[in-house]
Amino acid sequence: MKKKGFTLIELMLALSIFAILMGSVYKAYFSEMKELRQITDKNNMQYNAKTCIEYITRELRNIEDETQEIELIGNEIIIKSFETKKDVVLVDITGNKSGLVNLNKATRKLVDQKGRILCNGVNNISLKKDESGDVIVITIVLQSGNETHSVTTGININR
């Protein structure tokens, strides 16, 4: 007598092997998706920091007028005009919203004077002069979840 079909034990064994294989595929897939999401977040954070630094640097480098001077006073980069005797705050990290670029500490966003968001997730901005006093060193620190990224640049303020 020939048997046709599978026994219950054979079906249970095949189902168990299939479940183990699918479990490992599921774990590997979602592990890779999590890693991809982390890499994407880090890349976005790096791009945001770089964009902010480039915006501030471009604004500072656009000051070509010999009647203006760039100074770092406290937590602000000030553009002093000798002709109009009016100072313009380029970067304000105090939260006073008085600059062309402002840090909103509550929302952790860097915005321009029109309220456009330049950068999200700003944890800190550091403005310092180097030892020579000729270079303003700007460091932007961004944080997203557990990831922290910082970008630093120096801008020569003596022409």
| Predicted confidence (pLDDT) per residue in 91-139, tens digit | 777 766 677 788 887 888 888 878 888 888 888 888 888 888 788 888 8
Mean pLDDT of the chain: 81
Q: Which amino acid is at 28?
A: A
Q: Count the neighbouring beta carbons within 10 Å of the beta carbon of residue 53.
A: 19
pLDDT at 82: 65
Phi, psi (rounded to 5 degrees) for 117: -75, 120
The C-alpha atoms of residue 113 and residue 115 are separated, in whole angstroms, by 5
Domain residue spans of the chain: 11-156
Contact in structure between 153 and 130 (CB atoms under 8 Å): no
pLDDT at 64: 59
Is pLDDT of 55 > 80? Answer: yes
pLDDT at 31: 95
Q: Count the neighbouring beta carbons within 10 Å of the beta carbon of residue 29.
A: 10
3 state DSSP class of 151: strand
Residue holding tokens 């026994």? Answer: 7
The C-alpha atoms of residue 18 and residue 22 are separated, in whole angstroms, by 6
Residue holding tokens 């002069």? Answer: 129
Q: How confident is the model at residue 28 (pLDDT cuts 50, 70, 90)?
A: very high
Contact in structure between 72 and 128 (CB atoms under 8 Å): yes
| Predicted confidence (pLDDT) per residue in 67-94, tens digit | 567 777 776 777 776 666 666 777 777 7
Contact in structure between 140 and 46 (CB atoms under 8 Å): no
**Distance (Å) of CA 32 to CA 25, 35, 39, 133:** 11, 5, 10, 48
pLDDT at 13: 95
